[in-house]
């Protein structure tokens, strides 16, 4: 094994949430996720406090450096501790979720056309470069769109935008999941200089990811109650911006 550096830091684009039974790391340049079990999570928290690899098992340090979740430094460079989140009750595989595919409600033709254009922009941004950095390109586009906004969208305006994007996505030949849908919603509203908060979060048991938009008061837009089980890791919005 190559000689490891004495010091390292977590890049600003790495987000971390500690659920107690698992620490989840997200690289927001690549979208890659790493789940760290409690023993290794203890080392991560210690490294965050000290910026030192001296007490970290070489195998763990090597893997984190190799995955670019850590970068070498010449001096100790501590970083913020992972965000703490309450772990969900263990489901033991017995939790039930809706599985039927239900067509979205119709939307006005003009709104659907604008939503289709927003989705086309998201698809273009996603595919306009290395696949490994698609997540970074999408979040960059979301930030750029947010910078043009002048006032927050009302709950009705935000909901109408989400529903228009879902209607357009239903007829789209491209993948339209939560990431594409939420980013397109931001772009659609930004075309009217209206802002929402874009969120990307993590839920435990099993670990899963989700992207959504919420209004200025923090209410998820056109989302099921289960969205509240996700702990936001990256938020981009009118009132605040947390940027791993």
Residue that wins the pLDDT comparison between 92 and 82: 82
pLDDT recorded at residue 196: 96
Q: Of 30-39, 164-173, 235-244, which range is least confident?
A: 235-244
Which DSSP helix (H) or strand (E) runs through 61?
helix 58-66
Angle of the 58-66 helix axis to the 38-50 helix axis, nearest 10 = 80
pLDDT recorded at residue 9: 97
- Alpha carbons 98 and 115: distance in angstroms, whole number: 26
Parse the chain into domains and list their residue ranges: 7-84, 109-242
SS3 29: coil
Which DSSP helix (H) or strand (E) runs through 194?
strand 194-195
Q: What is the DSSP letter of 220?
A: B
Share of the chain above pLDDT 70, in %: 90
pLDDT recorded at residue 152: 94
Residue 242 pLDDT > 70: no
State mean pLDDT over 189-215: 93
Confidence band for 103, pLDDT divided at 50, 70 and 90: confident
pLDDT in tens, 60-85: 999 999 999 999 999 999 999 999 88
- Alpha carbons 22 and 19: distance in angstroms, whole number: 5
Q: Which residues pair with 208 in a beta bridge?
A: 203
Q: How many residues does the chain have?
A: 244
Cβ neighbors of 161 (< 8 A, separation 6 or more) are: 111, 115, 153, 185, 188, 189, 196
Cβ neighbors of 201 (< 8 A, separation 6 or more) are: 209, 210, 211, 212, 230, 231, 232, 233
Q: What is the DSSP letter of 11?
A: -
- Alpha carbons 163 and 113: distance in angstroms, whole number: 12
φ, ψ at 52 (rounded to 5°):
-110, 145
The distance in angstroms from the start CA to the end CA of the chain is 30
Nearest to 199 by CA among 183, 217, 222: 183
pLDDT recorded at residue 94: 55
Share of the chain above pLDDT 90, in %: 75
pTM, rounded to two decimals: 0.87
pLDDT, mean over the chain: 90
Q: What is the DSSP letter of 27?
A: E
Cβ neighbors of 158 (< 8 A, separation 6 or more) are: 185, 189, 194, 196, 213, 215, 221, 222
Q: Are 62 and 1 in contact (CB under 8 A)?
A: yes
Residue 224 pLDDT > 80: yes
């Amino acid at each position: 094994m190559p000689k490891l550096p004495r010091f390292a830091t977590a890049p600003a684009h790495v987000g971390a949430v500690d659920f107690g039974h698992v620490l989840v790391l997200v690289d927001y340049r690549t979208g890659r996720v790493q789940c760290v079990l409690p023993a290794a999570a203890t080392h991560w928290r210690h490294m965050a406090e000290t910026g030192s690899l001296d007490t970290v098992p070489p195998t763990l340090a090597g893997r984190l450096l190799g995955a670019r979740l850590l970068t070498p430094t010449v001096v100790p460079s501590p970083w913020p501790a992972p965000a703490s989140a309450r772990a969900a009750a263990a489901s033991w595989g017995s939790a039930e979720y809706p599985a039927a595919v239900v067509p979205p409600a119709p939307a006005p033709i003009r709104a659907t056309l604008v939503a289709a254009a927003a989705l086309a922009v998201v698809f273009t941004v996603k595919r306009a470069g290395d696949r490994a950095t698609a997540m970074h390109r999408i979040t960059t586009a979301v930030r750029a769109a947010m910078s043009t906004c002048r006032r927050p969208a009302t709950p009705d305006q935000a909901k109408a935008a989400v529903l228009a994007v879902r209607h357009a996505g239903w007829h789209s030949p491209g993948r339209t999941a939560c990431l594409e849908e939420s980013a397109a919603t931001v772009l659609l509203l930004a075309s009217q200089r209206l802002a929402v908060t874009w969120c990307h979060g993590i839920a435990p048991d099993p670990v899963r990811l989700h992207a959504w938009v919420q209004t200025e008061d923090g209410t998820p837009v056109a989302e099921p109650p289960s969205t509240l089980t996700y702990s936001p890791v990256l938020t981009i919005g009118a009132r605040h911006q947390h940027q791993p």
